[in-house]
Structure 1
Amino acid sequence: MSTIEEAARRRPSRTSRRGGETGASGPRTSSGVPWVLPAMLVSAVVIYYCIGYTGYISTLDWNGVSPDQDHVGWSNYSRLASDPVFWKALWHTAVYYAATTIGQLGMGFVFAALLHSKVALRPVYKVIVFIPSVIAPATMAPVFRQMFSPSGEINGVLDALGLEGLGQSWLASPGTALVVVILIQIWLSTGVAFILYYAAMGQVDTETIEAARLDGAGNLRVLRSVVWPSCRGTTVALMTLSAIASLKTFDVPYLVTGGGPNYGTEFLGTLIYRTSVPNSDVGYGAAISMVLLVLAIVAAVASFRSGRER
C-alpha cells in the first residue's frame, strides 16, 4: 500500500496534465493576449493608420492623383465653416437620424410585441417584417424611383382613392425627396430593430408581467411600464447604431436621388464622395471625413452615457 500511495503522490494531477495548475492562491489560467494580439495588430494597422493618413490628407490641397501636394494646414477645416452645402448636409443628417430612429424603434417595438401575442402564421410574419433588412438598396433603388415618379404607383394609389390633388413628383422637390429617403430607410432598417426587440422581450420576467396584470394593468400599460423599460439596453444599442449609420449614410440617397434636387438630400457621406471623386478635391473631402469621425465618436459616447444614466 505504501508503494501505491507513493506512486499516486508522484503522479501529476489530471488538471496539471491539461495545462491548468492550482496553487495556494487559486487556479492559474494562461493569458489571452496571444489570442487577441493578431486582431489588435490588424486593427491598429488597417484602421488607425487609415485614420491618421486621412487626417494628413485633410491638410493638403490635392486632387488625389497628381504628385503635387500643397500643404494648406487648417484651411480645409476653416473652409467648412463657410460652406453652406456642408451645413445643409449636416442638418439633413440630423433630421434623418431623428426621424429614422423614431420610426424604426417604434415600428420594431410594435411588431415585436405583436409577435409575442397570439398571432397566426408567426414564421411568415417574421419573414415579412425582416426581409427588407437583407435586400440590397442597389437592388431596390430602381423600384423606389419608379414608385415615386409622377406616373408611379404612389400617385396611382392616390388617384384611386380620390386624392389626386396630393399626387406630385416626389423626387423633384427637396422637401418631399428627403421624406422619401427617410421612409425608405425606415422600411429597410425596421427588421433589425424588430429582431432585437423580439429577443429582448423574451428575457422580460414573466412574473413581473403577471403581477402588473393582477394590479389591473392592461396590455398597453404593461408594454409602457414593464416591457419598454426592460428593453432599455436594446434601445440604447439601436440608437447608437442608428446614429453611426446616419452619419455615414450613402447608398439610399445616392442611388435614389443622387443627393438632389438642389442638394435637398445631400448627406455627409454623399458630400464626401461628391467632393473627393467627381470634384477631385480630396483634401477637402478628407477634412469632411475627419469631422464625420468626430461626430460618430461623440454620438456613440453620448448614447452610451445617456443609457447608463437612465
Structure 2
Amino acid sequence: MTTPAPRSTPAAGSAPTAGESRARGRSGRPSAVARSALSPYLFIFPALLVYGAFALYPLLRAAQFSLYEWRGFGASTFVGLQNYIDLAGDAAFRAAIGNALVLIVFYAVIPLVVGLVLAAILRRGQVRGMGFFRTVIFLPQVIALVVVAVAWRQIYSPVGPLNQLLSAVGLDGLTRGWLGDPQTALASVGFIGTWIEMGLVMLLMLSGMSRIPAELYEAARLDGAGPLREFFAITLPAVRGEITVALVLTIIAALKTFDLVYMTTSGGPGNATTVPSYEVYFRAFDLREVGSASAVAIVLTLLIFAINVGVTRIGERES
C-alpha cells in the first residue's frame, strides 16, 4: 500500500495564491471586490428610503383604500374590486378621462409642433440675445399655476381683455363667457396649458438643436437643400430624444392637472372640464367616497404609466 503524499503547505512568509487573495482580504476582512459589490446599493439606499416613504407607501395605501367603501372616518367595508367595476359605468369618470385625453392635445401635441417650428426658426436665424429669449419663453414654467389661473380667468371673463379685443376689431359675435360656455370651456383651459408648456418644449428643442454640427447644414445647403429639407432631414432626426422627453413631461402634466381646473372652472360647467385629478378631490372631500376616489387615483396612475411607457418605447425604437 502506498502512502499518500502529504499536501504541500506554503512556506512561512510566502505570498498567498491568487484564489486565496480573491477569497479574503487582509486580516480576514472581505476583499475590495466584495465590498464594491454592495457599494452602489449603499449609495442609493437613502434615496430609495425617501422614495419609498413619500411615493410608494402612499400609492400602496391608496390601492388598499380602493378596495374599501369608506367615508374617510369611522368604520370601513371591504368591497374588493367593486369600486373599479362602478367606475366602468360611471359617466362622470368617463367624461373626466375623455377631457384628459383632449387636454393631451393642448398640453403636448400643439406645444410640440409649435415649439419645434419656432425653435428651428430661432436656430436658423441665429437670433441675438438667445439667453434673454430662453428666459422669457420659460417664464410660464416658474409662475405658480394658481397665479396663472387667476390671471387667465380675468382674461376670459365676459368683460375681460379677450372680449374687449374682439369687440374692438368688430367681432362682437364671438364674445362670450369663455369658461362658462360648455362648448369653449375645455378648449379655453387647454389653451392655458399650451401657453404654459410651449416654453418648456421650445427650450428642450433649442437645447437639442444646439448640439447639431453646423457642418451638416452647410453640406445640405451645398447640395441645394432648402429650409424644409434641412428641417426634416437633419433637425428632426437629431432631436428625437428631446421630443420623447418633451412628450413624457407634457403628457404627465396634462393627465395630472388639477389646480388649473380647480381655480378656473371647478370642473364645470357641468362635467365639461372635469379631469381625473379633480374627480379624486371631488369624490374624496365633497362626496366623502374615499374608496372610489382612491380607485380613480390608481386608474389615473396606471394610465399615465402606460401612455408614457408607450411614448418612451416608440422614441427608443425610432432612435
TM norm structure 1? 0.87
Name the counterpart of 2:68.
60
> Which of 93, 100, 114 pairs up with 1:86?
93
In the TM superposition, 1:211-250 aligns within 5 A as 211-250=219-258
In the TM superposition, 1:184-195 aligns within 5 A as 184-195=192-203
Q: Percent identity?
A: 34
- Indicate conservation of the 8 Å contact 2:108/2:254, yes or no: no
Give SS of 2:58's match: helix
Matched, 1:208 2:216: yes
Name the counterpart of 2:118.
111
> Which of 49, 52, 67 pairs up with 1:44?
52
Matched, 1:69 2:97: no
TM-superposed CA distance for 1:304, in Å, is 1.1
**In 2, distance between residues paired with 1:82 and 1:210?**
59
> Which of 286, 303, 306 pairs up with 2:314?
306
- Indicate conservation of the 8 Å contact 2:107/2:251, yes or no: no
- Indicate conservation of the 8 Å contact 1:58/1:286, yes or no: yes
In the TM superposition, 1:169-188 aligns within 5 A as 169-188=177-196
- Indicate conservation of the 8 Å contact 1:96/1:182, yes or no: yes
- Indicate conservation of the 8 Å contact 1:133/1:190, yes or no: no
**In 1, distance between residues paired with 2:255 and 2:306?**
11
Matched, 1:101 2:108: yes
Name the counterpart of 1:16.
none
**In 2, distance between residues paired with 1:272 and 1:145?**
23
- Indicate conservation of the 8 Å contact 2:197/2:250, yes or no: no
Between stretches 37-46 and 92-101, larger displacement belongs to 37-46
Structure 1 residues 267, 298: CA separation in 2 closer, same or farther (over 3 Å shift)? Answer: same
Cα deviation digits, residues 41-84 of structure 1 (max 9, x gap): 22233322221111110011111122x11111111111001100
Name the counterpart of 2:297.
289
TM-superposed CA distance for 1:252, in Å, is 1.0
Q: Which amino acid aligns with 2:64?
A: Y
In the TM superposition, 1:90-169 aligns within 5 A as 90-116=97-123, 117-169=125-177
Cα deviation digits, residues 156-179 of structure 1 (max 9, x gap): 111111111111111111220101
The gaps in structure 1 that reach 5 residues or longer are 1-26
- Indicate conservation of the 8 Å contact 1:92/1:266, yes or no: yes
The gaps in structure 2 that reach 5 residues or longer are 1-31
Cα deviation digits, residues 181-223 of structure 1 (max 9, x gap): 1110111111111111111001113222222111111122211
Name the counterpart of 2:6.
none
What root-mean-square deviation, in Å, do the aligned CA atoms of Structure 1 and Structure 2 show? Answer: 1.7
**In 2, distance between residues paired with 1:169 and 1:51?**
39
- Indicate conservation of the 8 Å contact 1:93/1:268, yes or no: yes
- Indicate conservation of the 8 Å contact 2:137/2:199, yes or no: yes
**In 2, distance between residues paired with 1:196 and 1:290?**
30
**In 2, distance between residues paired with 1:121 and 1:38?**
42
Give SS of 2:286's match: coil
Between stretches 248-257 and 35-44, larger displacement belongs to 35-44
Name the counterpart of 2:24.
none
Q: Across the two proteins, how many residue pairs are aligned to each other?
A: 283
Between stretches 55-64 and 123-132, larger displacement belongs to 123-132
Structure 1 residues 124, 47: CA separation in 2 closer, same or farther (over 3 Å shift)? Answer: closer
**In 2, distance between residues paired with 1:202 and 1:55?**
44
Between stretches 299-308 and 98-107, larger displacement belongs to 98-107
- Indicate conservation of the 8 Å contact 1:61/1:281, yes or no: yes
Higher Cα Rg, which structure: 2
- Indicate conservation of the 8 Å contact 2:280/2:293, yes or no: yes
**In 1, distance between residues paired with 2:253 and 2:99?**
13
